[in-house]
Chain A
Amino acid sequence: MLDLFDANCALGMVGRPSPAGAFLSAAQLVDHQARFGVSRGLVYHTLALEEHPAVGNALLTEAIADCDTLQPSWLALPHHTGEFPAPATFVDELRSAGVRAVRIFPDHQRFLTDDWVMGDFFAALAGRVPLFWHIERLNAPTARDIHRVCCAHPTLQVVICDVDKMINRTMTPLMRQLPNLWLETGGYRTHRGIEFMATAVGHDRMVFGSKLPWQALGQPHAELAYADVSGAARRAIAADNLERLLAMAAW
């Protein structure tokens, strides 16, 4: 069985659960993942997304305190409204808590990624902590934002999460031109997509994700398990690339 490190999973209650429900504890999530060979997870708390990062990030620390297999990732917001720490302070908090990954959901949480909003934040993370950028759709504004941010902050490692099908024509040139751009495969349900991206761009910047609890793990698992790629490429996407990415963190 393939050993997997899940780059995109969440625990906690959600307002609109899938028919199979949510994972109300770390143990429930870990138990479910283990059945698919997922031995580690880079997790966030659902309330960080559905209520507020300040609430969910704190709950996450508590929820996974006794869990060795889940690593924390925190959600971030712009600081201008006073509801979130300034970038330098946030980075200090990440370091203190040993958090080595940050997520943003700009579409869902309604903020722009322009430099006049997030420039200081991206600069503070660059070279220190990878950024997991969750998108609703790889449309023209989002693709241009990704291109601009990755160009402006070349040492910021950016992982695009929650992609959908039909992204190849935009994602391929982005990945080719931006060496600091990574792809999380959880929503990448394109026919032979992993195989294509491994050939067109290389397998070393794709990371496996499940999008639990909303999506069935069997789907992205099968995408990777059946992909016509080498064993080394499959293992890299399954776990090794994410390990390498997180090892780039400054602490």
Chain B
Amino acid sequence: MFGTLWRHHAPHAHRHPRDVFAANAIEGDPIEEFVIDVHSHPGPDSGHQGFNHHYLGGGVDDLLRVMDRTGVDVSCFSAHTAIGPDFVRGNALVAGAVRAHPARVVGFAVPNPNYPELAKEELIRRVDDQGFRGIKIHSTNHAYPIHGPNYAPVFEFADDHRLPILSHTFDSPARLKELAARYPNARFIWAHAIGAHVRDPDLAMTVRDLPNVFCEMAGSGNRRGQIEAFVRVAGIESAVFGSDYPVLSQTWQLGNVAHADLSEAEKRKIFSQNIRGVLGL
């Protein structure tokens, strides 16, 4: 085990192979291969999106235009409003996007555990009636612990429906392992986790033994070589592409993966193959 950790942290030369992903990205061309972004937060098209900072656009149509430019085929939408103050209003916005763009948008319903009855109704309505194919939880913004009792029905729902749960938490690998074991039919996508891996190598070593857990790389503290370091320990099947745009930038993370020191086949897995079946695509 110690040897694995040492190799994992040892600096290595960056070879930068030029494959289809890198070749497209270096020119700013849309990626020609199938790409899924598992992490996106649209706002309304009114031009007033960022609740704590400004960015240009951010509405559904704007995010689709960015996808056209980058070549991202499908994005998993959970509304910015939903992970903030009003999850019902936010889920309704995403329902509209799913109806209007069924081939480009996968809806992820957001339950706020501080409103447990409403949260349950929302999951049933959005998933059973409106075709959402995932759940997004934000225990940080909603200030509710992931192991709190009001999240249990959410995990049970995901387990019953075999749904992916995109989770913005920085809980311990032990907590993730416990959830993955308790809800084996759910698929946990640990957001921002590949950046966290640099600080906590236990995460990758935990994830590699959990077939129903994936990690994505959206975040600010992305350090050079961290995706490569993560997959060397966790295995390529554990990584999926997620950008958190427009809160962050889709192109930023796209470049991170496209130019990573990985093979074309490995990038293909991160960009789509690892998660495509989970999303029913």
Contacts and interface: CB of A to CB of B under 8 A. Distances in A.
Given A20-B12, A168-B54, A193-B249, A228 B69 contact: yes
A21 B225 contact: yes
B14 interface: yes
- Chain A interface, DSSP helix/strand/loop, else mixed: loop
A222 B220 contact: no
- Chain B interface, DSSP helix/strand/loop, else mixed: loop
B175 interface: no
Contacts of A141: none
Interface stretch (A41-49, A58-66, A207-215): A207-215
Given A20-B228, A218-B25, A222-B258, A192 B55 contact: yes
B226 A226 contact: no
6 contacts: A32-B16, A168-B53, A189-B248, A190-B55, A218-B259, A219-B253
Contacts of A220: 252, 255
A221 B53 contact: no
Contact of A219 (B225, B247, B252): B252
Most buried by A among B52, B246, B252, B253: B252
Interface of B: 8-9, 11-14, 16, 18, 22, 25-28, 50, 52-58, 66, 69-70, 198, 220, 222-226, 228-229, 245-256, 258-261
A17 B11 contact: yes
Contacts of B16: 32, 35-36
A216 B18 CA distance: 16
A145 interface: no
Interface string A162-189: 0011111100000000000000000001
Contact of B251 (A18, A212, A215, A223): A223
A221 B258 CA distance: 11
A126 to B, nearest CB: 31
A191 B26 contact: no
A37 interface: yes
Contacts of B28: 2, 222, 224-227
B53 A213 contact: no
B225 A20 contact: yes
Given A20-B12, A222-B255, 10 more contacts: A19-B11, A19-B226, A22-B11, A191-B55, A218-B25, A219-B253, A219-B255, A223-B251, A225-B25, A226-B251
